[in-house]
């Protein structure tokens, strides 16, 4: 079931805390628009700025709102293994379908340290695990060889790859098997990643254009790559312009225009600038969305 357009959900805030109603409304809109899966408490959800209690609360709110209609892959990453185990257990207890666990950041562990981190989580919590490899944020890269070892762990079912290296897809298939779920972590690589053997994307752009991204992924899932390329062309600027300023500032700005939440982000994140606002408005229009 883990495939297609999987939204890396933003976390709406008020001045004082979580905007729980806006968040659950956002989940409902995503599902009604055809989104195939949801990721609360990922990078786009500003997980690094959430308190432990907020992190747990957002997972619960997402699972509650999704009500089993689409898979929920709950962010359970931390650079402290015990915290990741705790978040994975919360995800399990709440009824999430899987946990998304990022490579430990800041610590710069060895490949053996990375393996032992995921092994400890897999040994501790009975929940499917999607390994998240994003060297640009975590500093460390999970090599294909290490991913092959991780694929042998009882609960590891796949990976989210945000390296941008399309050549890794076949290499991971060779090491991890054809059933190992491979998801792109970047909208701009979604089409190529799928062609090489991936099965979906954990997407930022689907926050603001869920139907359009779902249609794009449905075309790829159906094997219609002529249509998929056409749809990708309409979304190409959105893929990229949502990152002209640090994410999720641009996405939250668009969602403000759509009347779905406030633009509020937590420091050290800041709202996007005027030049970026103009470009993302243009990208939304190119994607076929009236603002």
List, by residue number, the catalytic residues.
132, 160
Cβ contact 7:29 at 8 Å: no
Residue closest to 125 by CA, chosen among 170, 147, 77, 93: 93
Q: Tell me the C-alpha distance between 173 and 32, whole Å.
A: 33
Cα of first residue to Cα of last residue in the chain, in angstroms, is: 33
Cβ contact 58:23 at 8 Å: yes
Tell me whether strands 4-8 and 200-203 are parallel, antiparallel or unpaired.
parallel
Preceding omega of 111 cis (within 30 degrees of 0): no
How many CB atoms neighbour CB 26 within 10 A?
A: 24
**Which stretches of the chain are DSSP H helices?**
20-32, 52-66, 81-94, 111-124, 135-138, 144-150, 168-176, 190-195, 210-221, 225-241, 249-257, 274-286
Instruction: Return the C-alpha torsion angle 154, 124, 184, 149, nearest 10.
Output: -50
The residue whose two tokens read 């195939």 is 36
């Amino acid at each position: 079931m883990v495939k297609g357009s999987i939204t890396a959900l933003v976390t709406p805030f008020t001045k004082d805390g979580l905007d729980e109603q806006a968040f659950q409304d956002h989940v409902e809109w995503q599902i009604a628009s055809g989104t195939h899966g949801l990721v609360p408490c990922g990078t786009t959800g500003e997980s690094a700025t959430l308190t432990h209690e907020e992190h747990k609360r957002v997972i619960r709110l997402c699972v509650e709102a999704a009500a089993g209609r689409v898979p929920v892959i709950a962010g359970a990453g931390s650079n402290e293994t015990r915290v990741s185990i705790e978040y994975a257990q919360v995800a399990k207890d709440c009824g999430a379908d899987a946990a998304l666990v990022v490579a430990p950041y800041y610590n710069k562990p060895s490949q053996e340290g990375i393996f032992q981190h995921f092994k400890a989580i897999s040994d501790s919590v009975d929940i499917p695990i999607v390994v998240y490899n994003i060297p640009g944020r975590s500093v460390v890269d999970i090599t294909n060889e290490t991913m092959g070892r991780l694929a042998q762990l009882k609960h590891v079912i796949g990976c989210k790859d945000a390296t941008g290296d399309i050549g890794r897809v076949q290499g991971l298939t060779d090491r991890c098997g054809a059933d190992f779920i491979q998801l792109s972590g970047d909208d701009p690589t979604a089409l190529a990643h799928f062609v090489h053997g991936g099965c979906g994307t954990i997407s930022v752009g689907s926050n603001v254009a869920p139907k359009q991204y779902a249609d794009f992924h449905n075309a790829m899932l159906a094997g219609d790559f002529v249509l998929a390329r056409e749809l990708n062309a309409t979304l190409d600027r959105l893929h990229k312009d949502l990152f002209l300023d640090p994410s999720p500032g641009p996405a939250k700005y668009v969602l403000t225009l759509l009347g779905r939440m406030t633009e509020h982000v937590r420091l050290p994140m800041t709202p996007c600038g005027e030049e970026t606002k103009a470009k993302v408005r243009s990208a939304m229009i190119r994607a076929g969305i009236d603002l």
